[in-house]
Amino acid sequence: MVIGRRSDVPIRNRTIYILEDVKKVAKADGKLHSSYGIDYFAIASNNYPWHKVPDLVIGRPAYDNFLVATATRYNVSVVDATDTVIALHQTDADGLNSGHRRSDSDYNRRIIRRYTAGLQGCTRTNCAKYKTRRLTKGSIEVVTRFPRRS
Q: Which of 103, 86, 90, 35 is nearest to 64 (CA)?
A: 35
For residue 108, what is the enclosing H or E element? Answer: helix 107-116
Q: What is the pLDDT of the chain when averaged over all its residues?
A: 84
pLDDT at residue number 116: 73
| Domain boundaries defined on the chain | 2-144
From 49, 75, 69, select the one nearest 121 (Cα to Cα).
Answer: 69
Q: Phi/psi of residue 132, each to 5°?
A: -100, 155
Contact 90, 10 (CB under 8 A): yes
Residue-wise pLDDT for 68-119, tens only, equals 999 988 899 999 999 999 998 887 666 555 555 667 778 888 898 887 766 6
In this prediction, residue 131 carries a pLDDT of: 96
Strand partners, 88: 7
Q: Are residues 8 and 30 in contact, defined by beta-carbon separation less than 8 angstroms?
A: yes
Quote the pLDDT of residue 54: 92
Q: How far is 88 from 19, CA to CA, in rounded Å?
A: 11
pTM of structure: 0.83
Residue 97: name the closest of 37, 42, 143 by CA.
Answer: 37
